[in-house]
Amino acid sequence: MSNEIKQNQPPRGTVKQLSKKERNAAFRRWTFVAGLGWNYETQQAPSVAYAMARALRKIYPNDDDYIEAMDNHFKYFNITPQMGNVVLGATLAMEEKDGLKATDAVQNLKVSLMGPLSGVGDSIFWLLWPTIIGGIAGYMALQGNPTGAIVWTLVSAALYFVKMGLSKLGYSSGTKLITSFSERLNIFTDAISVMGLMVVGTIVATVVKVYTPLKFSTGKVSLSVQTGVLDKIMPALLPAALAGLTYWLLGKKWWTPTKIILLLVVISLVGTFFNILGIAPAK
């Protein structure tokens, strides 16, 4: 029976043109599953394979070709999910054009682009965008204004169309896009990183609230630790120290964001109970 099935399969190397609907389906799969199936061995490779599966089935109707192509996409891959759309769009175009002849080129392209595009993607999508939009939304929420949450929701929804646009850009431009701008990627990444760090510093100083009501008293003289000592050394010193502690813990293997959040809750409760932390008086 298996021999009969193989005899009925199309010849090896048969390549069929993908429709716009099929390409968009592949890009959409990656958009929604980029973080699923992550593992320490191949990281995002299962998500890549899932996203490309139907498109590759169309490109490679022969089972052996399809298995070989899928195996190639199960290799190590790790990139900022949003920038992965560019890479997968380019690799899909290469496979559609050259078939299995592009196997090595596809893998080399993916490996070579993970680093530089992650630098750009992390700066924009993990640092700059959430810091600015999240900071605005959070600040408005502190003022009791729901507009910030609405803006955050709308911008997050708009990101879907940005991701789909990057996929189509990668598919239409292929490797030409990367080779043309390869020399400028580092400059762009550095500029975005500097801007993002400036925004982070501003957000920490204005949004993160840490206040201590501790006072040193000697006779009739009383000195506030917050206004008399810490603010004299550096304004927003406690928020900066808390942000530094959080970033340091994020770099530790055992600490996860959830554990850090719970730690901050415990520190707040214990600090308040012993009157070490409190709410700053209204000015």
pLDDT per position as a tens digit, 163-216 = 888 888 788 775 554 445 555 655 655 665 676 667 667 778 777 888 888 888
Report residue 216: phi and psi, to 5°. Answer: -100, 125
Q: What is the pLDDT of residue 266?
A: 93
CA dihedral 73, 77, 82, 88 (to 10 degrees): -30
Domain map (residue ranges) of the chain: 2-205, 211-273
Q: Is the pLDDT higher at 161 or at 10?
A: 161
Q: What is the pLDDT of residue 265?
A: 92
Q: Are the beta carbons of 148 and 136 closer than 8 angstroms?
A: yes
Q: How many CB atoms lie within 10 A of CB 163?
A: 23
Mean pLDDT of 9-26: 69
The answer, yes or no, to whether residue 56 has pLDDT greater than 70, is: yes
Per residue in 166-181, pLDDT (tens digit) is: 888 788 775 554 445 5
Q: What is the pLDDT of residue 254?
A: 86
Q: What is the pLDDT of residue 188?
A: 54
Per residue in 39-49, pLDDT (tens digit) is: 777 888 899 99
Mean pLDDT of 60-82: 88
The answer, yes or no, to whether residue 17 has pLDDT greater than 70, is: yes
Q: What is the pLDDT of residue 82?
A: 83
Q: What is the pLDDT of residue 269?
A: 93
Per residue in 238-269, pLDDT (tens digit) is: 988 998 898 899 888 888 888 888 999 999 99
Q: How far apart are CA 89 and CA 212, in angstroms?
A: 52
Q: What is the pLDDT of residue 107?
A: 80
Q: Is the pLDDT higher at 229 or at 113?
A: 229
Q: What is the pLDDT of residue 183?
A: 59
Q: How far apart are CA 46 and CA 246, in angstroms?
A: 31
Side-chain-side CA neighbours of 74 within 13 Å: the count stands at 7
- Return the DSSP state at 29: H
Position 80 confidence tier, pLDDT thresholds 50, 70, 90: confident
> In the structure, how many helices (H) and strands (E) does the chain have?
12, 2
The answer, yes or no, to whether residue 157 has pLDDT greater than 60, is: yes
Non-local (6+) Cβ contacts of 52 within 8 A are 26, 70, 73, 88, 91, 92
Q: What is the pLDDT of residue 169?
A: 78
Q: What is the pLDDT of residue 7?
A: 47
